[in-house]
Chain A
Amino acid sequence: MDDAGLSTVLFAMIAGAIRVSTPFLFVSLGECLTEKSGRINLGLEGTLVFGAMSAYAISYETGSPWLGVLVAGFAGMMFGALHGYICKLPKVNDIAIGIALMLFGTGLAFFFGKAYIQPAAPRLPSIPLGWWSDNPQIRQVMDVNPLFLVGAVLAVAMWWAFKNTRLGLVVRTTGDSAPAALALGVNVNLVRFLATAAGGFLAGVGGSFLSLFYPGSWTEGLSSGQGLMAVALVIFSRWNPLACFGAALLFGAAGALGPALQSIGISRGYHFFNAAPYLMTLAIMILSISPKRSLKGAPGELSITK
C-alpha cells in the first residue's frame, strides 16, 4: 500500500466513523443507562428497527423528519417501558425478555413498514461543518448530522451526570446493589423502569438516524445487527458513556474498512475486511472475559455478573 492509498483508507475510515457511528452511539448510550441501573435490555435491536420504521413513516406522512425522530424516540420508549415493566415481575429473566422484544420489535416494524418501503420520505438536514476546506471530499465528510453532535454532547453529559449528580448516584446505586438502594429509600423497580424506558428512547432515536439520514431509506434489511453490536460495545467501553462515544466511532471506522480497501484496489480477502466490525465484537468479548473475576466496572446487579 503506497502513501496515497494509505491516506485514502484512513480518510475513508474517519469519514465512515462520522457517517456510521451515530446509531451505535445512541443505542450504546441507551444500553449503558439501562445496564447502569442493573438490567440488560437485549431488545434494543428491535427497538432500533422499529424506530427506523416509525421515523420514516412519520417523516413521510407529515413531511417533518424531526417529528419522525421524536416519534421514533417515543416508540422506543414504549418498548423500553414494556421491558422495564415485565422485568419487574418476579422470576422474569431480563435477557429472555430482551430477545423476545427484539423479535417483536423487528416483526412489528416489518408489519407496519410494508407501505413505506416505496415512498421517499424527507430526510434529516445536515450541518455543513466543512466550510473551512476547499476539498470537496472533506466538505462531504463534514456534512454532519445534528444527531451525531447531540449524541456526542449526550455522552459527555451522561458521563458527568453519573459522576456528579444525585440522579446519577441513584442509578449507579440501584445497579450496583439493590439492597443498598433500598436502604437509601430508593424505589429500585421504578429507577430501572425509567432507565430502561429512557434507554429505549435513545435506541429509537438511533434507529431514526438509519432511515432518515444514513443510509437514509427504510428497507427490511436496514439494520445489520447494529443494535446487538451496541450491547457488546457497552461492555467494551466498561459502562462509561465517554468510552461509548469512542467505541462507536471505532465500530463505524471498522465498517468502512472493507469498502475503502476495495476502492483503492486492495480487494483480496474483502470478506475478511467486511467482517471487521463483527470480528471486533468477537475479539472484544474474548478479551474481556475472565473466569476469575467479574468485569471491571460492571454494575454488580447485572444478571450476567451476578
Chain B
Amino acid sequence: MFTRKFDRRTILKGAGIGALGLSTGLSSILPARAAGLTIGILYVGPRDDFGWNQAHAVAAAALKQVPDVTVIEEENVPETISVAQSMESMINLDGASLIFATSFGYYKPFVLDMAAKFPDVKFRHAAPLWTEGDPANAGSYFGYLDQAHYVDGIAAGLSTTTNKLGFVAAKPIGTVLRNINSFAIGVKKVNPAATVQVIFTGEWSMPVREAEAANALIDAGCDVLTCHVDGPKVVIETAEGRGVKTCGHNASQAPLAPKGFITGAEYKWETIYKDYAAKVAAGEDLPNFIGGGFDKDFVQSTPYGAGASPEAIAAADAAREEVKAGKPIFVGPVKKQDGTDLVAAGASLDNYDPALDQTDYLIEGVVGSIT
C-alpha cells in the first residue's frame, strides 16, 4: 500500500516537473551571445495579433536583416514584475544592450528600475512617457498614429452612404481619444453631415464584446467601421461578414476583408528601430525622445483595398501629402462635445502640439461618451 502511494506521488511529481519544464524550457531556449549588437524586445501579447504587437514584431523582423544585429524577443509578458525579470535575463544571459519595451505599463516602475540598475544598457519604451529627470539611459519613442487615422477618416467619409461611421474603441485614454478625434475631423472635412459613433469595450482585448460592438454599430446604421483595440481582427472580420466597409488599425488587416477594406492606420516602428540600431553601431548617443508621423515615416497607410473608391483614394492621398508637409489636422473651428471651443475659427493646432497629448475629450460630431 505504501509503495503504491509513493509511486503514484513520484509519478505525479515527475509529471508536474515535466510539464513545468515543457512550458518554461521551450519558451526560453537560450540563443548564444552574438558579437554585434543584441537587442531585446518585449511584447505584452502574442506577436501575431493583427495589431499592436504585430506592428512591433514586423519591425523586429526587419531589424533582424540588419548585419551584426541579433534580436531576441519575448511575447506575452504581463505588465508586472515579470517584465523586469525578462529584461534582466535578456541583459544578463543574452547580453542585450538595447531593450525595447513595447507596452504602456512597462515603463513605470519596471523600465525605470532596470535603467537605474543597468546604467550601461539602453532602454527605450513605446509611449511618450520619458520626462526630464528620468534615467538618461532610458527613453521613449512614439508614432503619432492619429495622422493616419485622419487620412482614414478622409477615405471613410467619402465611402459612407448612411453618413454614420462606427468606431470600436478599447479605453478612453488620450491616444485612443486623439485617434477618434482625428478620424472624425477627416470624416467631417469631406462629409460635414456625417457622424462618428463610438462604442467603448473597456478592455484592450475582448473578442466577444468587440464583435457585439461591431454588430451594434452596424445595426445602428453605420456602414463604415474602424477601431482602436489591440487586435482588430474580430471587428474587421465581423464587419466584412455583414458587408460593411472597414478601415484598419495598428497593422495591416487587408487580408481579412477582401471585399470591404478601404485603408488602415499602421505604425512603421521599423524606421525607428533601424535608426536606433544604426546609431548604436556608429557609437552615437540615442535621443531620449523621438516622435513623428508621416513626416518621419513612423506611421503609414495600409495599401488601399477593394472597398476604396477612386475618389476616396485621391482625397486620402492628397491629405497624406498635406500632413507630411506639416499642414495641421486640427484646423478651427473645432468644438468639443460640450460645445466649448477646442480650436477657434481661424486658428489651428500643430500636429505635434503637446496639448494634444493630453486629449481627454471627444469633439463635436462624435457620438459617444468617455465616462
Chain A residues near B (Cβ < 8 Å)? 8, 11-12, 15-16, 19-20, 89, 104, 107, 110-111, 114, 117-118, 120, 137, 140, 210, 214-217, 219-222, 224, 226, 255-256, 258-260, 262-265, 267-271, 274
Contacts and interface: CB of A to CB of B under 8 A. Distances in A.
Contacts of A216: 211, 234, 237-238, 241
Given A221-B207, A255-B208, A259-B209, A12 B219 contact: yes
A217 B369 CA distance: 29
B46 A224 contact: no
Contact of A215 (B199, B202, B211): B211
13 contacts: A8-B220, A12-B215, A110-B76, A120-B255, A217-B234, A219-B234, A221-B231, A255-B212, A256-B212, A256-B216, A258-B201, A262-B198, A263-B220
A83 to B, nearest CB: 14
A222 B230 CA distance: 13
Contacts of B206: 221, 224
Contact of A269 (B23, B209, B212, B371): B371
Interface residues of B, number: 44
A48 to B, nearest CB: 12
B213 interface: yes
A102 to B, nearest CB: 14
Contacts of B199: 259, 262-263, 267, 270
A275 B233 CA distance: 23
Contact of B211 (A120, A214, A269, A274): A214
B208 A215 contact: yes
Given A259-B199, A262-B368, A263-B199, A224 B49 contact: no
A8 B207 CA distance: 22
A186 B178 CA distance: 66
B209 A224 contact: yes
Contact of B202 (A120, A255, A270): A270
Contacts of A268: 369, 371
Contact of B197 (A114, A220, A263): A263
A15 B23 contact: no
Contacts, number: 127
Given A8-B219, A114-B46, A268-B371, A259 B212 contact: yes
Contacts of B203: 224
B43 to A, nearest CB: 12
Given A104-B19, A219-B207, A263-B199, 15 more contacts: A11-B219, A114-B48, A117-B48, A214-B208, A215-B208, A215-B234, A216-B241, A217-B233, A219-B46, A224-B209, A260-B212, A262-B199, A265-B368, A267-B369, A270-B199
B212 A217 contact: no
B5 to A, nearest CB: 9
A98 B371 CA distance: 38
A263 B211 contact: no
Nearest to B22: A111
Nearest to B367: A265
Contacts of A265: 367-368
B116 interface: no
A22 to B, nearest CB: 11
Given A20-B208, A259-B199, A268-B371, A217 B219 contact: no
Contacts of A255: 208-209, 212
A92 B331 CA distance: 68
Q: Is the interface of A mostly helix, strand, loop or mixed?
A: helix
Contacts of B256: 120
Interface in B178-207: 197-203, 205-207
Nearest to B166: A263
A8 B48 CA distance: 36
Contacts of B211: 19, 214-216
A120 B233 CA distance: 10
Contacts of A12: 215-216, 219
Contacts of A260: 212, 216
B45 interface: yes
Given A8-B220, A89-B8, A220 B23 contact: no
B270 interface: no
A274 B219 contact: no
A176 to B, nearest CB: 30
B242 interface: yes
B209 A217 contact: no
Contact of B368 (A210, A220, A267): A267
Nearest to B242: A140
Given A20-B208, A215-B211, A271 B219 contact: no
B219 A221 contact: no
A66 B205 CA distance: 27
B31 to A, nearest CB: 18
Nearest to A260: B216
Nearest to A221: B205
A100 to B, nearest CB: 9
B94 interface: no
Interface string B337-371: 00000000000000000000000000000011101
